[in-house]
Amino acid sequence: MFNFNLQETLTVIIAGMAVLGAIALSTGIFVLFRKVMGDELRVIASQTARLAQKGITEEITGLVGNASALLEALNSLVKTTTGVGVFLTLIGFILMVVAYYLGLQP
C-alpha cells in the first residue's frame, strides 16, 4: 500500500518533527502569554490580600492563616504554569532545530 524508500521516509519523519515542534512551540508560548494575561489570578490574589488585611484588623487568626495558604498555593500555581510553558517552548524549539538539521543532510 505505502511503498516508501528511505529518502521519502526520512522526509515524512522530518515533516512530522517540524509540525510537532511548531505545535509544541506555539502551545508553550500560548501558555506563557495566558499566564501573563490571566486576570483570574490577579483578582484572586487581590481579594485574598484584602481578606488577609480584614482578618488582621479584626484579629481573626484562622482567616489570616487560610489567606496566606491560598497565596502560597497561587504562587505555586504560577510557578508550575510557567514551568510547563517554558518546557513546551524548549521542546518545540529543539524539535524544530533537529528537523532543520536533518533536512539539511544529503
pLDDT of res. 81: 78
CA–CA distance, 29 with 12 (Å, rounded to integer): 26
Q: CB under 8 Å to 39, separation ≥6 — which residues? A: none
Q: Which residue has the cell 483570574?
A: 40
pLDDT of res. 76: 73
Give me the phi and psi of 81, to 5 degrees please.
-65, -40
52, 64 Cβ separation under 8 angstroms: yes
pLDDT of res. 18: 94
Q: Print pLDDT tens along the chain (106 aa).
A: 667 788 888 888 999 999 999 999 999 989 888 765 566 666 666 666 666 666 556 666 665 666 667 667 767 777 777 888 889 999 999 999 999 998 888 6
